[in-house]
Amino acid sequence: MEEQKAVNTSVVFALLALAFLGTLLFVGWSSFLVFLDSGDITVLPFSKVSLEETLLSWLLYATGALVVAVTLIIYLSIAARERAQHIANRMLRDALASQQMLLQLFQESPIPYLLISYEGKIQMPNKAALRLFDTVAEELEDKKIYSFFPKENHEHIDILLSRFQSNVASHEEELFIEREDGTRRYVILSIFPVQSKESKRNGLMSLVDITEREEVERAKTEFVSLASHQLRTPLSAIKWYTELLISGDFGELQPRQVKYVEKVHESNERMIELVNTLLNVSRLELGTFMVDRKPVVIIDVAENILEELKGKINAKKIIIGRQYSQLPTMNTDPKLLRMILQNLLSNAVKYTPEGGRVNLALQLQGSKLEIVVTDTGMGIPKKEHDLIFTKLYRAENARELISDGNGLGLYIVKAVMEVLEGSVSFVSEEGRGTTFTATLPF
Ligand code: ADP
């Protein structure tokens, strides 16, 4: 539309210029003819025309040509300027339209978004954010982001803010916000630094409400916890009675009967182990595991576990290597320490074939205890390294060759490490072996 208008203006201008040019030429020629008529000028062969007459007629042509050229230049420059102006207008209009659209998307998005200033003040909450905080924009704007998180999350927020100030994004951090009425919502928080017009950057913060999902998860975990707890009593009863029957205290059993009762006992032991594992998982997930620190002789705990695994170690003729440094008594929770050693050592024995080697090193690294379990077993395929601490995950090679496993052991180790503020990592090569290293503050 505007382009058409610009073209029309140029056409009108060109017609006016032509009319002006025509008039000029007409006036020029008329004067020339008047001169001719008056006999002042005679049209003769060129050589017979006087110098003045020739100059006069050439002057007329030159004036005409000059007028044409100047008109053309003016026309072209005006047309170009109009076109540039038009393109600039269109670009501005497009930019405004897309800005408007982005703003609308931001405002109407079902995901709660906030803009935060460099100092961590809330600047522009969208509608979903207002719904999440259950408040109005005036109550949020210009307030420090801290005021909406409970105290125990402040340190976490501090880290996220300094990351953002250093232009580093943070993804999917689980926290909970506190509304004015005191209710809490679990959120997954991400912050992306965005450059603003001023020199200091802003941050785009997204908060995904996962309260309902967390509640369902918690209800499931509570159910597992309750069920495992209830299962322990009948399983213990089966254990005692089968042990009594095997011992012969209630009369001698026939060899076949002993064989079957032993099978019941064995299966029951596996069931007790599974139930205890489930109970540990649920307690760790619910955060109800009370850390009970006391002086622990680490080597004794390790030796005790190796003794328990003796049957499996001997059956597979696995050679056990030990490297123990001089370790002082450690102030830690023996049950949790046991879970780490038990899972790492039993895995090493389980995933190492007959005649292989398992090595346990217990050493001090500065103020930390390092537990290193190395084996010459099947290893973990590289493509599965990232998933190995995931709940219920078992690598493909382990699933194919060893049916006994539930994928909870390493998940427990990782969760225990979080409780004890330690860390666990591994290096592994498929078909060659694995080394797990757990580090615990002393
Ligand atoms: P599982 O009960 O299956 O052993 P874990 O959680 O203890 O469960 O281990 C998860 C998976 O990690 C195992 O299924 C196996 O694939 C792999 N894994 C753990 N330890 C080792 C190891 N020492 N060597 C090879 N694979 C291992």
Alpha carbon distances (Å) from 380 to 76, 183, 319, 351, 355: 74, 44, 21, 10, 19
Tell me the three state secondary structure of residue 418.
helix
Tell me the three state secondary structure of residue 317.
coil
Asked if residue 205 has pLDDT above 80, the reply is yes
Q: Each residue of 161-192: pLDDT tens digit?
A: 999 989 899 998 999 899 988 899 999 999 99
By mean pLDDT, which of 28-32, 161-165, 264-268, 334-338 is the weakest? 28-32
By mean pLDDT, which of 7-21, 30-44, 214-228, 303-317 is the weakest? 30-44
In which band, very low, low, confident or very high, does the pLDDT at 194 lie, cut at 50, 70 and 90?
A: confident
Atom of ligand 1 at shortest range from CA of 377? 24
Token pair 């159910």 is found at: 223
Strand ranges inside 117-267, DSSP E: 170-178, 184-194, 202-209
What span, in angstroms and rounded, lies between the C-alpha atoms of 28 and 62?
Answer: 11
Q: Are 204 and 113 in contact (CB under 8 A)?
A: yes
By mean pLDDT, which of 65-74, 260-269, 275-284 is the weakest? 65-74
Q: Each residue of 124-134: pLDDT tens digit?
A: 999 999 999 99
Asked if residue 53 has pLDDT above 50, the reply is yes
Mutate to test the pocket of ligand 1, among 318, 347, 375, 430 (most ligand atoms within 8 A of CB): 347
Asked if residue 46 has pLDDT above 50, the reply is no
What average pLDDT does the segment 333-358 reach?
96
Residue 11 CA to ligand 1 center (angstroms) comes to 82
Asked if residue 112 has pLDDT above 90, the reply is yes
Asked if residue 33 has pLDDT above 90, the reply is no
Per-residue pLDDT, 4: 56
Closest CA to 246 of 267, 232, 260: 260
What average pLDDT does the segment 263-280 reach?
92
Cβ–ligand 1 distance for 409 under 6 Å, the answer yes
- Residue 270 sits at φ, ψ, to 5 deg, of -65, -40
Mutate to test the pocket of ligand 1, among 342, 344, 373, 410 (most ligand atoms within 8 A of CB): 410
What span, in angstroms and rounded, lies between the C-alpha atoms of 343 and 284?
Answer: 15
Q: Are 24 and 63 in contact (CB under 8 A)?
A: yes
In which band, very low, low, confident or very high, does the pLDDT at 195 lie, cut at 50, 70 and 90?
A: confident
Per-residue pLDDT, 68: 83
Q: Each residue of 286-311: pLDDT tens digit?
A: 888 888 899 999 999 999 999 999 99
Mean pLDDT of the chain: 88
Q: Which residues contact 18 (CB under 8 A, 6 or more apart)?
A: 71
**239-263 as b/e: b if 16+ CB within 10 A:** beebeebeeeeeeebeeeeeeebee
Asked if residue 36 has pLDDT above 80, the reply is no
By mean pLDDT, which of 193-197, 276-280, 330-334, 403-407 is the weakest? 193-197
60 or 88, which is more confident:
88
In which band, very low, low, confident or very high, does the pLDDT at 40 lie, cut at 50, 70 and 90?
A: low
By mean pLDDT, which of 65-74, 81-90, 273-282 is the weakest? 65-74
Per-residue pLDDT, 35: 61
Q: Are 165 and 118 in contact (CB under 8 A)?
A: yes
Per-residue pLDDT, 44: 46
Q: How far apart are the first and last CA of the chain?
A: 78
Residue 407 CA to ligand 1 center (angstroms) comes to 7
Per-residue pLDDT, 2: 52
Residue 410 CA to ligand 1 center (angstroms) comes to 7
Per-residue pLDDT, 182: 87
Cβ–ligand 1 distance for 395 under 6 Å, the answer yes
In which band, very low, low, confident or very high, does the pLDDT at 248 lie, cut at 50, 70 and 90?
A: confident
For residue 429, the 8-state DSSP code is E
Cβ–ligand 1 distance for 424 under 6 Å, the answer no
Residue 280 CA to ligand 1 center (angstroms) comes to 18
Residue 343 CA to ligand 1 center (angstroms) comes to 9
380 or 248, which is more confident:
380
In which band, very low, low, confident or very high, does the pLDDT at 7 lie, cut at 50, 70 and 90?
A: low
Per-residue pLDDT, 108: 94
What angle do the packed helices 334-350 and 298-308 form, to 10 degrees? Answer: 40
